[in-house]
Structure 1
Amino acid sequence: MLSLPPPPAGLGRRARNASVALGAAAVLLGTASPAGHAQDGGGDGGDGGGGDLEQTVAPEEDNIAGEAVLNVGHVDIGPRFVDGEWHIHGRDDSQSPPVWRPLTDVVTQVVDASQQQAPEDPDFGFLDAEPGSDLFVIPQTQAPEVIWLGWNTQDPEVMERVNRGVTLTMHGVEGPGHFAVFLQNGDLGAPDVLWDGDEEGPQELWVDLNTHTHANWVFTEPGVYVVDFEVSADLITGEHVSARAPLRFAVGEETDVREAFDAGGGGPAAEEEEPAQESSATGPPAEGPEGGDTEGGDTASDEEDASLNVVLIAVGAVALALLAAVVVVTARSRRARRIAAATDAADTGTGPGRSAS
């Protein structure tokens, strides 16, 4: 049964593929939870993992490397400049002060306490779930026992260097069930689907600078899910920057988080994301003679094989020509000997059909 709180005051605006920031009120799939809503802009204080979405991101917040399983508290996905380069990080404020973690180092665990029942409302048909069936939900409003996952564009250097806003793109998702992210206003409006795992192709979402937003992340089955995620923007200098990384989830407490870390390529020690300014798709490197990797090894080997084939064909053609010449010369030599023998016989009168006198 869908239960919705009254719409909060000062509700922010949101837009998909537009120049308006995201904002929405809470959606409750089943039981009640603390009131709260996504809103635009940052406030004067950090939210400390609570329901208040007003926060300020300090420029001195640390970047922390190393595996981390995040299953409680408040985490925002967002772009951040690290040593002048554009990256996707997760801002984890389960500790104080908050820290930023590379997305490649993180698995978001969705605990069993997140389970709710799929509503009967046909507006929720995009969830691909039978009404009353169990769903795993990271809610738009904070629940004390469940990770509270959102996104922000509040890194100080991002706000200083980016032109207007950023684009969040889901390129696809792998997992045992259906995945969707949506917002819902508190005025009984229909859910606003931001990302749907059934849709093909990139799904883009525009987010203004200095925005902090939370939404509903829904999984229909337990297991490992990997979202192919990208954050891109145009800088005030005219330069385009982008970074792409796997967003990994271990849904259900029986799901092995190690399996989630190993899914989707890369890993904690892998190079994070694509290059900030440009990227190129390449196949796996070939193994060199010493067992090392050599770029372009397959291409060089193919060229050598092709050259060898050309040489063998040329040698064969020459050999055939020589053989043909030998045959012709031999035939002519035999014919010449026959003609010479016939001439000698004619001179002596002992040719065929004649007898010596």
Structure 2
Amino acid sequence: MRLVARSLATATLGAALALGTTVPADAATTVLTTGHVDVLDVDYTSGALSVQLLDGTSGGVRRDPSTVELDVLAAAKTTVPSNSAYGFLGTPGSTVWILPQTQNANLLWPGWNSTDVASGVFQGNSLTLSLQSVSGGRVGVYTQSLGTPTVLFNSGDGLPDAKPLATGAHVHANWAFGSAGTYTVTFRVSGVLAATGATVSADATYTFKVLP
């Protein structure tokens, strides 16, 4: 899947998250296991696009992704449905670890946001979110409605995968991992500035640890 044309729904983050503090890149590694986290926290300030991690488990702390380990606990373990629409997850009946779109208090609830990107900065008030690379196993990110999945990113059929991301958006989806182990996942956010037509971008790399 090279491009997902469907836009995602938007919502507003709470004021506490919007005003969260920032932890420097040289901080000790923080391990997150449960609670709300915006894996990609997109911002545009002082002429630069940036991608951080917004840790809602600590009241809205912005962290450099390189300082965070995102743990996928054993409670996320399930099996791939027999429905062919879920074939991107693997063989029916095989094991898969899923951090769900709907919050489960016993797991991480990962999403992404562009709520701090002001309207009018980018052409069409739209950015592009791309999954650039994955190591450690297969990763799939998808939404689900009435039992039907919409695949957003799938490392199993070639990368990069790209999709539009509206400015002012806050999105949650299912994050699926095909095996236990440590994953390195790199995303890129890019956009065309409305004022100049120049393209700006920022990359961020994340570590997920999937527990058996």
How far is 1:17 from its partner? 4.4
Give the secondary-structure state (helix, strand or coil) at the position aligned to 2:75: helix
Is 1:246 aligned with 2:209?
no
Name the counterpart of 1:88. 51
Cα distance in 2 between the residues matched to 1:239 and 1:117: 45
8 Å Cα contact 1:118-1:135 kept in structure 2:
yes
- Identical counterparts, % of pairs: 30
How far is 1:112 from its partner? 1.0
Specify every segment of 5 or more residues in structure 2 that has no aligned partner in the other structure, as ranges.
Answer: none
The answer to which structure, 1 or 2, has the higher relative contact order (CA under 8 A, 6+ apart) is: 2
Specify every segment of 5 or more residues in structure 1 that has no aligned partner in the other structure, as ranges.
Answer: 1-15, 24-39, 47-54, 255-357
Whichever structure has more strand as a proportion of its residues is 2
Cα distance in 1 between the residues matched to 2:205 and 2:87: 27
8 Å Cα contact 1:129-1:220 kept in structure 2:
no
Q: What TM-score results when the alignment is normalised by the length of structure 1?
A: 0.53
The count of residues paired between Structure 1 and Structure 2 equals 204
Name the counterpart of 2:188. 230
4+ long deviations beyond 6 Å? none
State the structure with more CA Rg.
1
Aligned AA for 1:137? Answer: I
Name the counterpart of 1:344. none
Q: CA RMSD in A?
A: 2.2
How far is 1:162 from its partner? 3.0
Name the counterpart of 1:75. 37
Cα distance in 2 between the residues matched to 1:75 and 1:159: 24
Name the counterpart of 1:64. 23
Name the counterpart of 1:183. 143
Q: Deviations over 1:260-309 (max 9, x none)?
A: xxxxxxxxxxxxxxxxxxxxxxxxxxxxxxxxxxxxxxxxxxxxxxxxxx
Cα distance in 2 between the residues matched to 1:166 and 1:68: 28
Give the secondary-structure state (helix, strand or coil) at the position aligned to 1:145: coil
Cα distance in 2 between the residues matched to 1:103 and 1:236: 28
Aligned AA for 2:159? Answer: G
8 Å Cα contact 1:138-1:146 kept in structure 2:
yes
Is 1:21 aligned with 2:20?
no
Q: What TM-score results when the alignment is normalised by the length of structure 2?
A: 0.86
Is 1:105 aligned with 2:105?
no
Cα distance in 1 between the residues matched to 2:62 and 2:202: 15
8 Å Cα contact 1:21-1:211 kept in structure 2:
no
